[in-house]
């Protein structure tokens, strides 16, 4: 166990570094700080086990939309060779087993405290320490604080009047009960048709007596074409790990497939259709990479959008339902594009109804179900909220972070999050954010982004210790430039056109509308971060003398 550096009179446990969160990011960060730098490092995790998003999201059908052989740590060949994925797209229980395997193999759990939700994190400038308090009153302190709280971990339950009076049961997909929910014979209503709802609907429909899907915004989805992986593929992936890693490091999205080199306008209609059809049959997110300009050129995007809408109309038998599902109001992939297993086919079942809550919004939850503005009632036994998350900033702000001179992070970010490289914010010394706002994170294959962040943060902390600097934080000027660059990168794409997306914070009432992830691509971001470090952490202030800082 990493040594607790000290305990003060108030029972505070003091470490060199505290890490909040035990998902992909927290696991690797602990390994790097403890086993590579030799620091005393400790993880605080609200859940009762490792896994992060995969510990919480146990809803029916929960599955990753990165291919399994790419959804893994690549920093350790030993880890890669010691694990076999069973399916093209891993299911939640398998990912959770994988993350436990990693934690056990690297002997990480002995330096973790579970059931520890951070209620406050305050910078103590006099002691040069972050002081943390958990909800149950335990106290911790550390020189470095790394948040590894994920981008999509603060569940968003819409404030619909009457929910408290509902006589049935209701659940948010992001906090699904661990024992599961028995929907057999029940009338289930599901609100939300994002990636989660699209995965959950087919599985719920199979078990429930009736499933009513409340759709506000129609969505594109591409068939996953999930399948078991055979031994030949598994052996190939292990033997070619170095090439797969190289491919993932060289693409904008961190997936092991490249962005097409041609424009959608470079080919005639027949060839374009054939390419889309091949991508559709192959399945998965790579359809969006068919041409290089799908996310940047409106007309190019329209060709992909039209192709997918035609497939929806082909699959769904009832023309009115098909029209509702195919009336997507934003360009393709400007919201995170889901992949599915039988989503549109689900609406051909006799026990499934699609309700258009754009035309007739949910007015209130009654004791017996959902009532729409028109007065139409949908009687339900169970309501499933597949309504997403307070993304990218929600989990960070929920920790009540207070920086220098008592500045709350919520105040510093009142007009939207401001960071340098998504990694640090001025006024919050030694606070490092993994996959924070202003980083590529959610626009990429997450483990690739996480590995890069964790390694950059580890190198930065090693640099601080080698140079004797006590603190590190960006300048306001560097932050202004990065925020401007993040905006420019977003505006160079069509993504801001999806005005109601969580990328913009638009799904949470009152949240400032700022495009949060960095859309410039993972490979470019990696180069920028490396240059910043090579130039002596350009844009960051490294200050103070560690030798004079009290322990
Ligand atoms: P989401 O994309 O934010 O979708 C939420 C859905 O709920 C939207 O359809 C939204 O409609 C609807 N909604 C929200 N409030 C509503 C209200 N008051 N009334 C009616 N409808 C309402 O959330 P998500 O599906 O959980 O996905 C979030 C992200 O998690 C994904 O984009 C992805 O990055 C990640 N994820 C990944 C996977 C995977 O790897 N396979 C699976 C699930 C999730 P509007 O569009 O009209 O706002």
CATH code of the domain in which 499 resides = 3.50.50.60
* 14-33 core/surface letters (b: 16 or more CB in 10 A; e: else): bbbbbbbbbbbbbbbbbbbb
**Tell me: the pLDDT tens digits for 218-269?**
999 999 999 999 999 999 999 999 999 999 999 999 999 999 999 999 999 9
Looking at the chain, the whole-number percentage of residues with pLDDT higher than 90 is 94
Answer yes or no: is 139 within a domain. yes
By the 10 Å C-beta count (0-12 exposed, 13-18 middle, 19+ buried), 460 is classed as: buried
Residue 479 sits at the vertex; the CA angle it makes with 473 and 480, to the nearest 5 degrees, is 155
Answer yes or no: is 439 within a domain. yes
**What is the distance of C-alpha 433 from the center of its chain?**
14
Total number of domains constituting the chain = 2
pLDDT, residue 2, reads: 45
pLDDT, residue 4, reads: 57
Range of the domain at 177: 163-228+249-385
499 band by pLDDT with thresholds 50, 70 and 90 = confident
pLDDT, residue 546, reads: 52
Answer yes or no: is 236 within a domain. no
pLDDT, residue 305, reads: 98
**Tell me: the pLDDT tens digits for 163-204?**
999 999 999 999 999 999 999 999 999 999 999 999 999 999
Any atom of ligand 1 within 6 Å of the Cβ of 416: no
500 band by pLDDT with thresholds 50, 70 and 90 = confident
| Domain boundary pick from 367, 385, 403 | 385
Regarding whether 432 and 311 lie in a shared domain, the answer is no
Q: Residue 548 pLDDT more than 50? A: no
Answer yes or no: is 240 within a domain. no
From the CA atom positions of the chain, what is the Rg in Å?
Answer: 24
By the 10 Å C-beta count (0-12 exposed, 13-18 middle, 19+ buried), 375 is classed as: exposed
Taking the C-alpha atoms of residue 442 and residue 356, their distance in angstroms, rounded to an integer, is 28
pLDDT, residue 1, reads: 40
Regarding whether 415 and 329 lie in a shared domain, the answer is no
Any atom of ligand 1 within 6 Å of the Cβ of 199: yes
Index of the ligand 1 atom closest to the CA of residue 197: 25
Nearest CA to ligand 1 atom 20: 216
User: What's the pTM value of the predicted model, to 2 decimals?
Assistant: 0.96
Nearest CA to ligand 1 atom 4: 194
Regarding whether 341 and 299 lie in a shared domain, the answer is yes
Regarding whether 378 and 399 lie in a shared domain, the answer is no
Tell me how far CA of residue 469 lies from CA of 40, 128, 430, 546, in angstroms.
18, 11, 11, 6
6 band by pLDDT with thresholds 50, 70 and 90 = low
Taking the C-alpha atoms of residue 112 and residue 232, their distance in angstroms, rounded to an integer, is 37
Index of the ligand 1 atom closest to the CA of residue 507: 48
Regarding whether 431 and 297 lie in a shared domain, the answer is no
Short-list 47, 93, 32, 103, CA closest to 68: 93
416 band by pLDDT with thresholds 50, 70 and 90 = very high
**How close is the Cα of 197 to the center of ligand 1, in Å?**
7
**How close is the Cα of 59 to the center of ligand 1, in Å?**
13
Answer yes or no: is 233 within a domain. no
Q: Residue 442 pLDDT more than 50? A: yes
| Domain boundary pick from 385, 401, 427 | 385
Any atom of ligand 1 within 6 Å of the Cβ of 305: no
Any atom of ligand 1 within 6 Å of the Cβ of 91: no
pLDDT, residue 370, reads: 98
Any atom of ligand 1 within 6 Å of the Cβ of 502: yes
Regarding whether 515 and 399 lie in a shared domain, the answer is yes
Question: What integer is the mean pLDDT of 348-363?
Answer: 98
Regarding whether 443 and 335 lie in a shared domain, the answer is no
pLDDT, residue 551, reads: 38
Answer yes or no: is 75 within a domain. yes
Index of the ligand 1 atom closest to the CA of residue 198: 25
**How close is the Cα of 27 to the center of ligand 1, in Å?**
26
Regarding whether 409 and 373 lie in a shared domain, the answer is no
pLDDT averaged over the chain?
95
| Domain boundary pick from 336, 366, 385 | 385
Regarding whether 430 and 331 lie in a shared domain, the answer is no
Q: Give, for ligand 1, the residue of 388, 441, 500, 506 to mutate: max count of ligand atoms closer than 8 Å to Cβ.
A: 388
Index of the ligand 1 atom closest to the CA of residue 193: 9
Q: Residue 157 pLDDT more than 90? A: yes
Regarding whether 133 and 36 lie in a shared domain, the answer is yes
Q: Residue 515 pLDDT more than 70? A: yes
Q: What DSSP string describes 502-546?
A: GGGTTTSTT------S-TT-HHHHHHHHHHHHHTTSTTEEEES-G
544 band by pLDDT with thresholds 50, 70 and 90 = confident
What DSSP designation does 493 have?
Answer: S
* Alpha-helical runs (H) found in 3-88: 24-30, 53-56, 77-81
Regarding whether 270 and 172 lie in a shared domain, the answer is yes
Any atom of ligand 1 within 6 Å of the Cβ of 216: yes
Answer yes or no: is 1 within a domain. no
Regarding whether 280 and 403 lie in a shared domain, the answer is no
Tally of CA atoms within 13 A in the half-sphere of 153 that contains its CB: 27
Q: Give, for ligand 1, the residue of 195, 341, 442 to mutate: max count of ligand atoms closer than 8 Å to Cβ.
A: 195
Decide: helix, strand or coil at residue 127: coil
550 band by pLDDT with thresholds 50, 70 and 90 = very low
Q: Residue 510 pLDDT more than 80? A: yes
Question: What integer is the mean pLDDT of 378-392?
Answer: 96
Beta-carbon contacts of residue 270 (< 8 Å; ≥ 6 apart): none
pLDDT, residue 547, reads: 47
Answer yes or no: is 234 within a domain. no
């Amino acid at each position: 166990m990493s040594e607790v550096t000290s305990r003060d009179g108030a029972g505070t446990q003091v470490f060199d570094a505290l890490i909040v969160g035990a998902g992909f990011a927290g696991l690797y960060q602990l390994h790097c700080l403890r086993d590579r730098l030799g620091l005393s490092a400790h993880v605080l995790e609200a859940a009762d086990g490792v896994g992060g998003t995969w510990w919480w999201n146990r809803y029916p059908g929960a599955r990753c939309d990165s291919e399994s052989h790419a959804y893994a740590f690549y920093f350790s060949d030993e880890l890669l060779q010691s694990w076999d994925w069973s399916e093209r797209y891993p299911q939640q229980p398998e990912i959770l087993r994988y993350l436990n395997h990693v934690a056990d193999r690297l002997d990480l759990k002995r330096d973790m405290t579970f059931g520890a939700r951070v209620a406050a994190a305050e910078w103590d400038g006099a002691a040069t320490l972050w002081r943390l308090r958990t909800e149950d009153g335990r106290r911790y302190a550390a020189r470095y604080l790394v948040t590894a709280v994920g981008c999509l971990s603060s569940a968003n339950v819409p404030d619909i009047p009457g929910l408290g009076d509902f006589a049935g049961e209701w659940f948010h997909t992001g906090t699904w009960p661990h024992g599961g929910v028995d929907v057999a014979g029940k009338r289930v209503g599901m609100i939300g048709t994002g990636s989660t709802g699209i995965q959950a609907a087919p599985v719920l429909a199979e078990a429930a007596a009736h499933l009513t899907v409340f759709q506000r915004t129609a969505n594109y989805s591409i068939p996953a074409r999930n399948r078991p992986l055979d031994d030949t593929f598994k052996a190939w992936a292990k033997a070619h790990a170095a090439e797969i890693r190289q491919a993932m490091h060289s693409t904008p999205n961190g997936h092991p497939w490249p962005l097409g080199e041609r424009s959608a306008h470079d080919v005639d209609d027949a060839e374009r259709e054939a390419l889309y059809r091949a991508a559709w049959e192959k399945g998965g997110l790579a359809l969006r990479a068919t041409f290089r300009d799908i996310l940047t050129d409106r007309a190019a995007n329209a060709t992909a959008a039209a192709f997918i809408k035609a497939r929806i109309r082909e699959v769904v038998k009832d023309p009115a339902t098909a029209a509702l599902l195919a009336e997507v109001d934003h360009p393709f992939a400007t919201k995170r594009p889901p992949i599915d297993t039988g989503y549109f086919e689900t609406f051909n079942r006799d026990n499934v109804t699609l309700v258009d809550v754009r035309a007739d919004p949910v007015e209130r939850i009654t004791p017996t179900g959902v009532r729409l503005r028109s007065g139409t009632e949908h009687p339900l036994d169970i309501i499933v909220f597949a309504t997403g998350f307070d993304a990218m900033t929600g989990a960070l702000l929920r920790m009540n972070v207070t920086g220098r001179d008592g500045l709350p992070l919520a105040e510093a970010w009142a007009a939207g999050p401001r960071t340098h490289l998504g990694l640090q914010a001025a006024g919050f010394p030694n606070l490092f954010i993994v996959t924070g706002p202003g980083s590529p994170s959610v626009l990429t294959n997450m483990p690739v982004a996480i590995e890069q962040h964790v390694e950059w943060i580890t190198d930065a902390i090693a640099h601080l210790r080698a140079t004797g600097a006590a603190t590190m934080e960006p300048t306001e000027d560097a932050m202004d430039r990065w925020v401007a660059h993040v905006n420019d990168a977003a505006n160079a794409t069509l993504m801001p056109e999806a005005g109601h997306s969580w990328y913009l914070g638009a799904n949470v009432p009152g949240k400032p509308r700022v495009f949060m992830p960095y859309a410039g691509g993972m490979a470019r971001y990696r180069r920028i971060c490396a240059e910043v470090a090579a130039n002596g952490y350009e844009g960051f202030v490294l200050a103070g003398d560690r030798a004079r800082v009290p322990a």
